Amino acid sequence: MRLSNYFLPTLKETPKEAEIVSHRLMLRAGMIKQQAAGSYSWLPFGYKVLRKVQTIIEQEQNRAGALELLMPTLQSADLWRESGRYDDYGKEMLRIKDRQDRDLLYGPTNEEMICDIFRASVKSYKDLPLNLYHIQWKFRDEIRPRFGTMRSREFLMKDAYNFDLDKEGAVASYNKMFVAYLRTFYRLGIPAIPMRAATGPIGGDLSHEFIVLADTGESEVFCHSDMLDKEIPSIDVDYDSDLSDIVADWTSHFAATEDVTSKEEFEKNVPSDKRILARGIEVGQLFYFGDKYSKPMGANVTNAQGKEIAVHMGSHGIGLTRIVPAIIEAHHDENGIVWPVPVAPFEVILINLRKGDDACDATCDDLYRQLKASNIDVLYDDRDVGAGAKFANADLIGIPYQIVIGPRGIKSGEAELKNRKTSERENIKISEIVLHTKNLIEPQRLDKV
């Protein structure tokens, strides 16, 4: 993409409403625009990241055997009356009437609707297990939205719903999601620690929150330091095998949020040199809740003995619009964002320092062609602005590698390659720069490990 043809409204100054660093950087890098309290447009640069995040989540969900579908944002109130949640949910749920005066709601979650889909078609235990997921915009009318898209009212969320014959099967499904989440967050560049969690209004008795440690996190978390060094399951993990050993290993150390533990309990169970008391951002949550919804809504199957029973269910969320700021909280410095390669909106920025100079233009045009032909996602800064502005802008928007072409380098046949993360620069022959960069990037994409 040529920057001169792109829409990237970056800001030199920080809008005053932005409190935390990810919110400031998302505004400054032209990723989002606030439309109302807790409501944001995703501009091209931000949306590109959101889509990469979505793709990684989909790949790992699919790998774990979950099937993607799509449900409406607007739901009939009648479904929610069946489960009893229409009255229980409170003012967080946005209620709407249509022209026939029918009660609708903008979905804050989809347990009822997925039960409705399930019960319409699935009647036999032979069709289990089943895991259906969707990625959809949801709305919760938060009393106080804040921190940009970290806590917005309208948000994009992945929710997977598993259906199993009994608790044992549901736990196996839960474990698949557990392993998929470990892999997903690893690939997204945000090592997330699974912690025991409260089950909240959705209910249930088995739940883990996946927490990214960050000073700006909304809750206090307690964690054994060995949790930080655990091995992520590889791409070869067999989801048809028994995953309980992996889950048991990952849940063997103390890790819990403030909702379900206390400082006293933490200190009793973890030696002082292993204690991590920090703040955390919740980026995903797993729930097992049995027949809480299947029973009142009649999501039943006939078992092998010919008896009709309510299925065991769980729901497993990941907040996509929260993950993007979480990534930035974990990957930035004083100059701007530092994208991990797998989610970077572009992998390389090609900087033409002297737009209008024939040699610079020709070299850059050629490199731009080569980079694209090599399947590298490249942004070409071909604008006619000062060198300083280009460097500052490149650092702000955080593209992992900068290839700098200027009159000085052209004379010696060299380009400068800057690593955004380490700030290291090296001079590389222009004839070799594309291959060299490709070799650096490919292993970091993490799509084969």
Partner RNA sequence: CGGGGUAUAGCUCAGCUUGGUAGAGCACUGGUUUUGGGAACCAGGGGUCGCAUGUUCGAAUCCUGCUGCCCCGACCA
Half-sphere exposure of 337 (CA within 13 A, CB side): 32
Instruction: Tell which positions 229-288 bind RNA, by CB under 7 A.
Output: 282-285
- The reply on whether position 393 binds RNA by CB under 7 A is yes
The two three-digit tokens of residue 250, written as one number = 């990952």
Work out which of 59, 335, 370, 374 binds RNA, going by CB under 7 A.
Answer: 335
DSSP state of 2: B
- The reply on whether position 181 binds RNA by CB under 7 A is no
- The reply on whether position 93 binds RNA by CB under 7 A is no
- The reply on whether position 329 binds RNA by CB under 7 A is no
DSSP state of 8: -
Asked whether the beta carbons of 309 and 301 are under 8 A apart, the reply is: yes
CA distance 218 to 281: 6
> Which one of the spans 94-102, 242-250, 303-311, 401-409 is the region binding RNA (CB under 7 A)?
401-409
Rounded to a whole number of angstroms, the minimum distance from the CB of residue 395 to RNA is 4
CA distance 420 to 357: 26
Rounded to a whole number of angstroms, the minimum distance from the CB of residue 149 to RNA is 7
Work out which of 6, 47, 89, 391 binds RNA, going by CB under 7 A.
Answer: 391
Rounded to a whole number of angstroms, the minimum distance from the CB of residue 207 to RNA is 10
Rounded to a whole number of angstroms, the minimum distance from the CB of residue 216 to RNA is 9
- The reply on whether position 107 binds RNA by CB under 7 A is no
Asked whether the beta carbons of 157 and 317 are under 8 A apart, the reply is: yes
Specify the residue for token string 């490149």.
394
CA distance 449 to 447: 6
Q: Would you say 164 or 209 has its CB closer to RNA?
A: 209
| Residues listed for the chain | 449
CA distance 131 to 133: 7
Asked whether the beta carbons of 426 and 436 are under 8 A apart, the reply is: no
Rg (CA), the chain: 24
Instruction: Tell which positions 8-27 bind RNA, by CB under 7 A.
Output: 10-17, 19
Work out which of 120, 143, 304, 373 binds RNA, going by CB under 7 A.
Answer: 143
- The reply on whether position 147 binds RNA by CB under 7 A is yes
The amino acid at residue 183 is R
Specify the residue for token string 């109130």.
77
Rounded to a whole number of angstroms, the minimum distance from the CB of residue 150 to RNA is 7
Rounded to a whole number of angstroms, the minimum distance from the CB of residue 145 to RNA is 7
Interface positions with RNA (CB under 7 A): 10-17, 19, 28, 34, 36-38, 92, 140, 142-147, 151-153, 155, 157, 200-202, 209, 218-219, 282-285, 317, 319, 321-322, 335, 353-354, 356, 386-389, 391-396, 404-410, 416, 418, 425
